[in-house]
Amino acid sequence: MKNSTIILILILTTLLLILPVSVASQGYGNRFQGNQNSVLPEPEDLNLSDTERSDLLFMREEEQMAHDLYMVWYEMYAIPIFRNIGEAETIHASEVQLLLDRYQVPSDMIGNYSSGYNNPDIQALADALAEQGAQSLTDALKAGVAIEEKDIADLDKAIANTTRPDIIQVYTNLRNGSENHLSAFTCQLS
């Protein structure tokens, strides 16, 4: 009886070590846990620069676009990676929304796939990637790679444009998530 208990403990421990890697490869990546508002550093003031304000609005709409396209492709191809990463993008969008709310930046102009995006660059990107992703599953996965690479580059620029610890923390977490998403798409293409 003692040996079977030890074996069971070893199996459970092994599963705890393997499961996070397996989940990440399916596109879950690192997600925020709970309400990050309670763990974000408090800002010294609420006066954002114009660049910080426009970066937040851009990142919020870009996260929305990523979610929307992944859900379109999930409906087309029904593979879990699109649903999983699409759900993660919803969390990413809500984290940027938390910052917009914190800094009292109106975000009522954030668009979506159905109504169109407010930012013309995001709209043009969404149109091109939606067309690419509609060609085949492989093209949709490649479009997913393009979304995540663009998101990482945009987050790097946004991080460089601020010194605010709370914004940097959210952007860094989003960037880490995008790295995981990129890795998941790349694995699917291999």
pLDDT per position as a tens digit, 104-124: 999 888 888 888 899 999 999
Q: Is residue 119 part of a domain?
A: yes
In a domain? residue 123: yes
Asked if residue 156 is part of any domain, the answer here is yes
Whether the CA torsion 51, 167, 175, 84 is positive or negative: it is negative
> Would 129 be classed as within a structural domain?
yes
How many structural domains are present in the chain?
1
For residue 160, the enclosing domain spans 46-189
C-alpha to C-alpha distance for 104 and 96, rounded to whole angstroms: 12
Evaluate whether residue 34 is within a structural domain: no
Residue 41's pLDDT band (cuts 50, 70, 90):
confident
With respect to residue 180, please indicate whether it lies within any of the assigned structural domains.
yes
* Separation between Cα atoms, residue 150 and residue 174, nearest integer Å: 13
127-181 per-position pLDDT tens digit: 999 999 999 999 999 999 999 999 999 999 999 999 999 999 999 999 999 999 9
Task: Report yes or no on 36 lying in a domain.
Answer: no
Q: What is the CATH number of the domain that holds 81?
A: 1.20.1260.10
Query: Is residue 11 domain-resident?
Result: no
Cβ proximity of 61 and 89 under 8 Å? no
Residue 27 has pLDDT above 50, yes or no: no
Contacts of 46 (CB under 8 A, 6+ apart): 102, 103, 104
Task: Fill in the amino acid letter for 141.
Answer: L
pTM metric for this prediction: 0.79
| Average pLDDT of span 64-75 | 97
